[in-house]
């Protein structure tokens, strides 16, 4: 799990994702028609790594939607997207990695707005047409003397096959880029994402950008539904980020509707790739809880299990210890009147199997509600990486 997935593997390689029929996977460097992207290095991450990305739609009108973090301490770029950007008609996005521009006060807001303004100038757009996304270390001022010229340079390198370098430019602790381009029923969809740690709904230390030439009548509803079933179904470490951003852009140039289930399947596979690449992760798990009193209870129990360090280390160590699952569920239901959770209520056999994916099942006897959560294991590498993150 330390290396990137093989380039000859199908994008939809998880057994938990059902891809629509007729999909053709093409070079993920190639963006959907009408989109261009670039990525350059301006020193935020060091070592010559790309860290400023630029994405633009050449169509004069594009239908778009943004889903942003609910963290009360939202970063400056989130505030710009909420307060300045026309979320229904985003033509472009400017992104940096290596600095979150979070907890940076009004100066941080001014810096994020300046990034949007500089990108707009370079692209011949209005500021409200340019979304801003940033990811990296919290509480550090933005080095604007490097970022603003970097945006101008990125604008000179925009290309329809810039998906690969763009995906590289948004990574932080990721071990591999998450990107895909698909064709199905005359529609093309491309997507790029990043995410490693601080992964917990609502969303994650997660950025995701989706481009398509499909017709989408209500992008906001489509994106919200797909995010709820994917990025809001995952956890690496139970921490909610200040910077989560998902952007969907649709030109409608194909004249055809988005194939049913395509966006949902792509975002779910990207979400699983994020936890598969969770900081130091080796295995991923799926918790299914059924028989809860209501949906909220099912969610609470599923997340308690998925975020339990004891369960996560059992996943890492391939230890089918069902007692840890019972403990986590019981703690989540503390004070409730219920039957004892015994081994006959829990299916934890896959925890002990020699596979990269494991499914856990828990059956309560409190009602008919159910919920599920995808999660990653917890091993030595997570502690090492986060103990040394800024040093």
Task: State the catalytic residues.
Answer: 205
160, 122 in Cβ contact below 8 A? Answer: no
Residue with tokens 């430019």: 169
45, 97 in Cβ contact below 8 A? Answer: yes
Range 186-223 burial, b when 16+ CB lie within 10 A, else e: ebbbbbbbbbbbbbbbbbbbbbbbbbbbbbbeebbebb
Q: Around Cβ 9, how many Cβ atoms within 10 Å?
A: 10
273, 178 in Cβ contact below 8 A? Answer: yes
- Per DSSP, helices labelled H in the chain are 76-83, 105-123, 144-155, 163-169, 219-228, 262-276, 295-306, 309-317, 322-332, 380-387
User: How far is it, in rounded angstroms, from Cα 44 to Cα 169?
Assistant: 11
User: How far is it, in rounded angstroms, from Cα 271 to Cα 235?
Assistant: 10
């Amino acid at each position: 799990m330390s290396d990137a997935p093989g380039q000859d593997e199908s994008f939809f390689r998880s057994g938990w994702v059902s891809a629509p029929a007729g999909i053709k996977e093409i070079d993920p460097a190639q963006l959907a028609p009408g989109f261009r992207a670039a990525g350059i290095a301006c020193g935020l991450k060091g070592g010559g790594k790309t860290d400023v990305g630029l994405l633009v739609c050449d169509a004069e009108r594009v239908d778009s939607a943004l889903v942003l973090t609910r963290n009360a301490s939202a970063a400056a770029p989130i505030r710009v997207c909420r307060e300045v950007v026309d979320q229904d008609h985003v033509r472009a996005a400017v992104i940096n990695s290596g600095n979150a521009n979070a907890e940076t006060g009004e100066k941080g807001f001014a810096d994020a707005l300046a990034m949007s303004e500089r990108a707009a100038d370079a692209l011949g757009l209005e500021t409200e047409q340019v979304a801003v996304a940033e990811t990296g270390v919290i509480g550090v001022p933005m080095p604007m003397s490097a970022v603003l010229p970097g945006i101008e340079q990125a604008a000179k390198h925009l290309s329809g096959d810039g998906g690969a370098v763009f995906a590289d430019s948004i990574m932080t602790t990721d071990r591999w880029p998450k990107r895909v381009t698909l064709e199905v029923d005359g529609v093309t969809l491309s997507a790029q994402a990043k995410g490693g740690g601080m992964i917990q709904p609502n969303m994650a230390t997660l950025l995701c950008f989706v481009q398509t030439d499909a017709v989408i009548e209500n992008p906001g509803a489509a994106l919200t539904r797909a995010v709820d079933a994917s990025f809001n179904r995952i956890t690496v470490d139970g921490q909610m980020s200040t910077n989560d951003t998902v952007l969907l852009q649709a030109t409608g140039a194909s004249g055809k509707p988005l194939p049913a289930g395509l966006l949902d399947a792509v975002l779910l596979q990207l979400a699983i790739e994020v936890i598969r690449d969770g900081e130091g992760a080796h295995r991923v798990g799926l918790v299914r809880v059924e028989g809860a009193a209501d949906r909220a209870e099912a969610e609470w129990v599923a997340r308690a299990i998925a975020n339990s360090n004891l369960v996560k280390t059992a996943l890492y160590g391939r230890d089918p210890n069902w007692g840890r699952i019972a403990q986590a569920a019981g703690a989540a239901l503390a004070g409730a009147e219920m039957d004892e959770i015994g081994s006959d209520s829990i299916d934890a056999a896959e925890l002990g199997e020699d596979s990269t994916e494991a499914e856990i099942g828990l059956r309560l006897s409190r009602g008919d509600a159910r919920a599920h959560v995808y999660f990653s294991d917890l091993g030595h590498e997570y502690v090492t990486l986060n103990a040394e993150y800024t040093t």
